[in-house]
Amino acid sequence: MIERWTVKWHPGIMWHNCDPLLFQTRREARAYIEKQYGYIKTRADLRRDPYNWRLPKAIRVQVILKEIS
């Protein structure tokens, strides 16, 4: 089993071109969040109703590779 970090934003894990976003370290995942979604911290209009946006979270996941024949 391989452990990696990914980005979770309600309701689930983020994907890019049909692949899950996977990072080697938590630091890399958090840097991606800051670069792509950091603007949310400064946008009070997005943080309150009706949007209630919050920054995505970096979470640790286990990647299982299984051969399908």
For residue range 10-63, what is the model confidence (pLDDT) as tens digits?
777 888 888 889 999 999 999 999 999 999 999 999 999 999 999 999 999 999
| Residue 19 maps to a domain | yes
How many CB atoms are closer than 10 A to CB 56? 21
Instruction: Flag whether the pTM goes above 0.95.
Output: no
| Residue 68 maps to a domain | no
| Residue 38 maps to a domain | yes
How many CB atoms are closer than 10 A to CB 19? 7
Domain enclosing residue 58, as ranges: 2-63
How many CB atoms are closer than 10 A to CB 16? 9
| Residue 69 maps to a domain | no
Long-range contacts of 26-32 (CB under 8 A, 24+ apart): 26/58, 26/60, 29/5, 29/58, 30/58, 32/7
- Domains identified in the chain, total number: 1
* Distance in angstroms (rounded) separating the CA atoms of residues 65 and 44: 42
Residue 8: which pLDDT band, with cuts at 50, 70 and 90? Answer: very high
| Residue 11 maps to a domain | yes
pLDDT at 45 (0 to 100): 95
